[in-house]
């Protein structure tokens, strides 16, 4: 079991550039989550997919943020255009379901927008 795989581990970009974060969930897991961690707000849920379908995106901060899950083994979180306040650690997590199953987290992508 390779765990949840995120890439890149670190991303440094300039304000205004497009950023794409990638996630490969654990094989067989039906649910996928994107979280953001900042000092001020802690771990915040951005969006959640079940069987590749977005279920709840109420945590996505702005229209600059979008997420896709084209198949069961891949998801992306895109920020366009990026801003310095987007700097944070972005975590992807997956869960086998059903409800009340623990989430398994990747090691995160540290994003710095200058």
First CA to last CA distance, the chain: 36
User: Which secondary-structure segment (H or E) carries 22?
Assistant: strand 19-24
Number of residues that bind other proteins (CB under 8 A): 28
Residue 100 is a binding residue for other proteins (CB under 8 A): yes
Check: CB of residue 26 under 8 Å from CB of residue 94: yes
Residue 12 is a binding residue for other proteins (CB under 8 A): no
Give the max Cα distance, the chain: 40
Residue 1 is a binding residue for other proteins (CB under 8 A): no
Given 1, 2, 53, 58, the residue binding other proteins (CB under 8 A):
58
Given 55, 84, 112, 114, the residue binding other proteins (CB under 8 A):
55
Closest to other proteins by CB, 58 or 71? 58
Which of 91, 83, 78, 79 is CA-nearest to residue 38? 91
Residue 33 is a binding residue for other proteins (CB under 8 A): yes
- The dihedrals phi and psi of 53, each to the nearest 5 degrees, come to -105, 130
- Interface positions with other proteins (CB under 8 A): 4, 31, 33, 35, 42-45, 48, 50, 55-56, 58-59, 91, 93, 95, 97, 99-108
């Amino acid at each position: 079991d390779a765990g949840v795989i995120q890439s890149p581990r670190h991303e440094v970009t300039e304000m205004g550039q497009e950023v794409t974060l990638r996630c490969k969930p654990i094989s067989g897991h039906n649910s996928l989550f994107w979280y953001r961690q900042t000092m001020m707000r802690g771990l915040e849920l951005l969006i959640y997919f079940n069987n590749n379908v977005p279920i709840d995106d109420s945590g996505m901060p702005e229209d600059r943020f979008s997420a896709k899950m084209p198949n069961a083994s891949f998801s992306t979180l895109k920020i366009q255009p990026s801003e310095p306040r987007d700097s944070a650690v972005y975590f992807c997590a997956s869960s086998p379901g059903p409800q009340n199953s623990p989430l398994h987290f990747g090691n995160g992508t540290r994003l710095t927008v200058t």
